[in-house]
Amino acid sequence: MSRSLVFALRNTKEIMRDILTLVFGVLFPLVLLILLSAIDRSIPPQAQMTLFEINNLTPGVSVFGLSFISLFTATIVSKDRCTSFILRLFTSPLKPSQYLIGYTLPLIPVSLLQTVICYLAAFALSLKFSLNVLLAVAVNIPVALLFISIGLLCGTVFNDKIVGGVCGALLTNLSAWLSGTWFDLSLVGGTFEKIANLFPFVHAVNAGRFALSGEYLSIVPELLWVAGYALVIGAVAVIIFNIKMKQD
């Protein structure tokens, strides 16, 4: 087994054995999905409020759930950095690229699993199965990479105490408020909507909604926003990680 895979396997175990992963990664988004579906059932059709309909809600909640992936990534990176475990790792023959692969790899299946669980729960709440659901799940892969990149960056820059606040509170709130999941951004409009559109979160949710509704051509421009952010943030994380590794 390659060194990257050995490191990835260790990280997978560290993440999956943390109770926070289960609570925030799976249970919390599920509770939100169920609650908001219940609210949707109470909204009279005359209100013409479609935001919490399961087709609109599921992509939003799945993206919100993925924001916790940043927390998991940042937590493991910063905990390693802030303890003497990093001395053991840095005096081993692992190379910088192997660290980054090792930190990133385990979170891709975790993200996929999280998305799949979210969609399975949505089936129980009236979402109809179609091949578009599979596409919506696949669309979340670049979104997961975006949140992993943010986690790598935060874990590299901040210590394990700050990471909880930045990724656990700030990022999850930011991604929720600016994603158009909980309220229609166009209803707020103005500067808020413009700012929200400059961030990748609303585009990540839109990509999932377009996938689910079969508007395939509309997916690409939305995903370009997500991929662009993921690439830039990922590159910055790699550069800073390399600098920190060589830092005295």
Partner 1 sequence: MYAIKTEKLTKKYKDKTVVDNLDLKINCGEVYALLGVNGAGKTTTIKLLSCLVKPTAGKAWLMGKSIADDETEVKQLISISPQETSVAPNLTVRENLEFIAGIFGFSRKEAKKKADKMIKDFNMAEIEKSRAKTLSGGWQRRLSIAMSLISQPKVLFLDEPTLGLDVFARRELWRLIDSLKGSITVILTTHYLEEAEALSDRIGIMSKGVLKAQGSAQELKKKAGTESFEEAFVKLAESEVQL
Nearest-approach distance from CB 91 to partner 1, in angstroms: 5
How many residues contact partner 1, by CB under 8 A? 23
Tokens for 179, please give them: 């994603």
The residue to which tokens 């590159």 are assigned? 235
48 contacts partner 1 (rule: CB under 8 A):
no
131 contacts partner 1 (rule: CB under 8 A):
no
Among 23, 39, 50, 92, binds partner 1 (CB under 8 A): 92
159 contacts partner 1 (rule: CB under 8 A):
no
Residue 227 makes CB contacts below 8 A (sequence gap 6+) with: 142, 145, 146
Give the rounded distance of the alpha carbon of 199 from its chain centre.
Answer: 14
By C-alpha distance, which of 167, 166, 148 is closest to 110? 148
**Residue 52 DSSP class:** T
85 contacts partner 1 (rule: CB under 8 A):
yes
> Using CB under 8 A, which of the segments 33-41, 83-91, 113-121, 124-132 binds partner 1?
83-91
Tokens for 159, please give them: 């210590």
d(CA 61, CA 30): 8
The number of beta carbons lying within 10 Å of the beta carbon of residue 101 is 16
160 contacts partner 1 (rule: CB under 8 A):
no
Q: Do the Cβ atoms of 175 and 201 come closer than 8 Å?
A: yes
d(CA 133, CA 224): 20
Among 44, 45, 46, 93, binds partner 1 (CB under 8 A): 93
246 contacts partner 1 (rule: CB under 8 A):
yes
> Using CB under 8 A, which of the segments 38-46, 82-90, 164-172, 216-224 binds partner 1?
82-90
Nearest-approach distance from CB 144 to partner 1, in angstroms: 22
182 contacts partner 1 (rule: CB under 8 A):
no
Nearest-approach distance from CB 101 to partner 1, in angstroms: 13
Half-sphere exposure at residue 105, Cβ-oriented, CA atoms within 13 angstroms: 18
Among 34, 43, 51, 94, binds partner 1 (CB under 8 A): 94
161 contacts partner 1 (rule: CB under 8 A):
no
CA dihedral 192, 164, 203, 42 (to 10 degrees): -80
244 contacts partner 1 (rule: CB under 8 A):
no
* Residues at the contact surface with partner 1, assessed by CB under 8 A: 1, 3, 6-7, 9-10, 13-14, 17-18, 83-85, 87-94, 246, 248
